[in-house]
Amino acid sequence: MKRSLHKVLIVVNINKPQSERLVSDISSYLSELHIEVQVFRLSGRIDPPVIDNIDLVFSLGGDGTVLFCSRILQDKGIPILAVNLGTFGFITEVSIDEWKEAFDQYMAGKTGLSHRLMIRVVVIRDGENIFMSRGLNDLVVKANGVSNIVRLKLNLNETRLGTFRADGILVATPTGSTAYSLAAGGPILDSEMDALIVTPICPFTLSNRPIVVSGEDIIHIEVLEHQRTDLNLSIDGQEMLPLQEGDIVMVERSRGRALLVLSNKRNFYEVVRAKLNWSGDSDA
């Protein structure tokens, strides 16, 4: 079924080469189709744009730009057409030369949407909620420094999983399974699975391994007393919060999902194969 758009938001990472030229090309093309265009230039930590009657968002940059867009669009049900201004990212499947074809295919109803699970993160301090945010990739609790072991207690729902001595703990979504969690030894999940990965970062005990849990589970990470270093919480590597001893970080599936326009050129597994250089040959 053909789609009709009235207003499009372009979120662009202005630090990427060719970004302004691409903004101009997309704006001109959409204007010819009598579609209103709003442009938001992303550089550093700035306030998000006002989302008012937006039907579609172009994300121009890399995976980080998509992560930003997913947070500001949470619960709004607005699709994101992610265009990568460089090599293919794990999230951005559309290259800079493919944006017009991808947009036309979307408008013609020939491509669908990928519904990506997001996480909701709450920090509880002295019995009160002091922080809340959402993420598309992951949450990380780790030392504010290099090679500092921290002590964290991990609970899954009402079940105590244990006390972990490690560089930290991260909780990743299926989308985030190809990011920090993968580098820390976690598995790759199908991008639309309803599951979360809990991955210890460089654990002191080798028996502490990554686990995959249901998307319906609630994870609690408690910062224990007598730490030898300061700890930080980060979400998608873009939002940071210093943690204190006794803080509890609660992680659960968010009600809303990130909606990504699918590419008709390649799918998630083809992107993973290319990025990880899987050849499939006998000498791979």
Taking only the tens place, the pLDDT of each residue in 101-120 is 999 999 999 999 999 999 99
Residue 63 annotated among the catalytic residues of the structure: yes
Element (H, E) at 135: strand 128-135
The C-alpha atoms of residue 188 and residue 102 are separated, in whole angstroms, by 26
Cβ atoms of 11 and 58 within 8 Å: the answer is: yes
pLDDT at 284: 44
CA separation for the pair 202, 120 (Å, rounded): 25
Domain boundaries, the chain: 7-112+262-275, 118-255
283 Cβ contact partners less than 8 Å away, ≥ 6 residues apart: none
Q: What is the CATH number of domain 118-255?
A: 2.60.200.30
The two structure tokens encoding residue 50:
């006002």
pLDDT digits (tens, 9 = 90+) for 141-195: 999 876 689 999 999 999 999 999 999 999 999 999 999 999 999 999 999 999 9
**Residue range 7-112+262-275, CATH number:** 3.40.50.10330
Report d(CA 180, CA 140) in Å as an integer: 9
DSSP codes of every residue in 50-67: P--S--EEEEEESHHHHH
The catalytic residue among 47, 52, 55, 63 is 63
Region 28-48: mean pLDDT is 89
Q: What pLDDT shows up at residue 282?
A: 46
Closest CA to 210 of 241, 257, 176, 253: 176
The answer to whether 26 touches 99, Cβ cutoff 8 Å, is yes
pLDDT of 47 over the 50 cut: yes
**How far is CA 211 from each of CA 163, 172, 197, 270, rounded to the nearest angstrom?**
15, 11, 6, 25
pLDDT digit string (tens) for 68-77? 999 999 889 9
C-alpha–C-alpha distance, residues 197 and 192, integer Å: 13
With DSSP H G I counted as helix, E B as strand and the rest as coil, what are the percentages for the chain, rounded to 5?
15, 40, 45
What does the pLDDT look like over 211-266, one tens digit per residue?
999 999 999 999 999 998 999 999 999 999 999 999 999 999 999 999 999 988 77
Who's near 204: CB < 8 A, 6+ residues apart? 149, 165, 166
pLDDT at 266: 77
Q: Given pLDDT bands bounded at 50, 70 and 90, which one contains residue 280?
A: low
What pTM, to 2 d.p., does this model score? Answer: 0.91
The three-state secondary structure class of 71 is: helix
Buried b / exposed e along 27-46 (16+ C-beta atoms within 10 A): beebeeeebebbbbbbeeee
**What is the mean pLDDT of the segment spanning 88-100?**
84
* DSSP annotation string for 166-181: ESEEEEE-TGGGGTHH
* Alpha helix segments (H runs only) across the chain: 19-32, 63-72, 99-107, 180-183, 268-275
CB 264 within 8 A of CB 105: yes
Predicted pLDDT of residue 277 = 81
What confidence category does residue 132 fall into, taking pLDDT thresholds of 50, 70 and 90?
very high
